[in-house]
Structure 1
Amino acid sequence: MATLPALDDSTFDEAIKSSGEPVLVDFGATWCGPCRQLAPIVEGIAKDYAGKVKVFAVDIDQAPKTAQRFGIRSVPTLILFKGGEKAGQIMGLTSRDKIVKQLGL
């Protein structure tokens, strides 16, 4: 998993709803190879766009209720939230450019 701030079932809602910035959540798992490949890309976006977007990680094994609530059936899955509401989703290993385009940055 990424070295991003981690959210779980008890912290997810507050982190998403309290943000004045768009929030990108990387849903993954420690056993997932593509998740490990995507992690440095997402971490780079978090660093490069600090102050414009907040980026968090959710380990689906540590947050099963949250994963179920958002219908996470495969990992990695990225979900973008704006104003506390789901605004976009990307499933699977993807490029930095596609993620940045989804963010609208």
Structure 2
Amino acid sequence: MGHKALTSKSEFDAALATAGKFVLIFAYSGEIPPGAEQAATDHATTTDAYSVDIDAYPAAKEYFGVTEPPTVILYKDGKELKKVPGMTKDKSAEIMDMLK
């Protein structure tokens, strides 16, 4: 299973309220980052993955504190563990290691 698109503040809140699993947010502009779907699938047992297009839903930019898309944000039990602005394949390794 891949990521679920977030389209409203209530969906943002519900995603972050997930307990017992990692929550991975892909905040992007225009197109979902390459590899996001695969990352979501690879870690589906430990992680709920979501995506949000900050162009289509500009409130998400402020809500998640996105300064440089694509940004990947990792949460657990409602707490932010790691945020990686300007995500690249090289930068993704640290977050992917945290999901194991």
Scaled by the length of structure 1, what TM-score is found?
0.77
Q: Are 1:46 and 2:45 matched, yes or no? A: no
Query: Sequence identity of aligned pairs in percent?
Result: 30
Match of 2:78 in 1: 84
- Of structures 1 and 2, the one with the larger relative CO (CA 8 A, separation 6+) is 1
What aligned pairs does 1:52-71 form with structure 2 within 5 A after superposition? 52-71=46-65
Q: Which segments of 5 or more consecutive residues in structure 2 lack a partner in the other structure?
A: none
Q: Which segments of 5 or more consecutive residues in structure 1 lack a partner in the other structure?
A: none
Number of residue equivalences: 96
Scaled by the length of structure 2, what TM-score is found?
0.80
Match of 1:28 in 2: 28
By how many angstroms is 1:104 displaced?
A: 4.2
Structure 2: which amino acid aligns with 1:99? I
Match of 1:73 in 2: 67
What is the root-mean-square deviation of aligned Cα atoms in Å?
Answer: 2.0
By how many angstroms is 1:61 displaced?
A: 2.0
Match of 1:15 in 2: 15
By how many angstroms is 1:5 displaced?
A: 0.9
Distance (Å, rounded) in 2 between the aligned partners of 1:22 and 1:10 = 19
